[in-house]
A and B are shown apart, each in its own frame.
Chain A
Amino acid sequence: AQSVTQLDSHVSVSEGTPVLLRCNYSSSYSPSLFWYVQHPNKGLQLLLKYTSAATLVKGINGFEAEFKKSETSFHLTKPSAHMSDAAEYFCVVSDLGDDKIIFGKGTRLHILP
C-alpha cells in the first residue's frame, strides 16, 4: 500500500529566500506524485504532478519538484518565497495499481517579512 510522509509540519522562511518542503513516499508500484496547496479556508489546488515522465517537474507559481527514486523523495522547492505563498502544502501519492489518492499530513509554510 502506498503512503507519504511530510517531514516538517511547519516551515518558516523569509520573503525572497528559497523554499524547501520535504516529502518521502512509499509505493508498491510505479507511483504518481502530486503537490497540492491549500490557502486558508479554501479548497485544494494542484501545484504540480509527476507521472513517470521527466523527473524534474515544474508547476505553477514558480514551484518545482524533483522525483528521486533512489531516495523515495519528491521535495518541493521554490527559489524565492513570496508572501502569497503562505499556505498549507500537501504531498500526495497514487499508484497506478491502486486508485486511492493518499495525502501526507501537510506542511504549513510561513513567510516572514
Chain B
Amino acid sequence: GAVVSQHPSWVICKSGTSVKIECRSLDFQATTMFWYRQFPKQSLMLMATSNEGSKATYEQGVEKDKFLINHASLTLSTLTVTSAHPEDSSFYICSASDPGSSYNEQFFGPGTRLTVL
C-alpha cells in the first residue's frame, strides 16, 4: 500500500515556542491530507482537512491561528503549532487520500508525539 511519513516522530519544546510537523506522501500524490489529534487510548479527533493549493478547512473548535496548516505541494502538508502550551501536548497524526487507490483510501502516518514543557 501507499506510504505516508511524518517528521519528526517526537518533539519536546518549551512553552511559547512554535513547532512544525511535516506529513509526506512518499509514493503517491495526495490532493487531500488530514490532520488528527489523538489522546492515549482515545479516538482520533479530526482537526482539519488540508487541500493542496487552497486554505485548510478546520473542524469546529479548532483554532486556525494556533494550528497553521500549509499544503504547498501534492506530497507535503505541514502543521505548525504556534505558541505551544502544555495542553497542546498530544499525538498528532496525518493521513493522505490516494486518489489512485480503491475507494480513495486514506493512508495514515506514524504520528508525532509533541510534548510541551
A is bound by B:
no
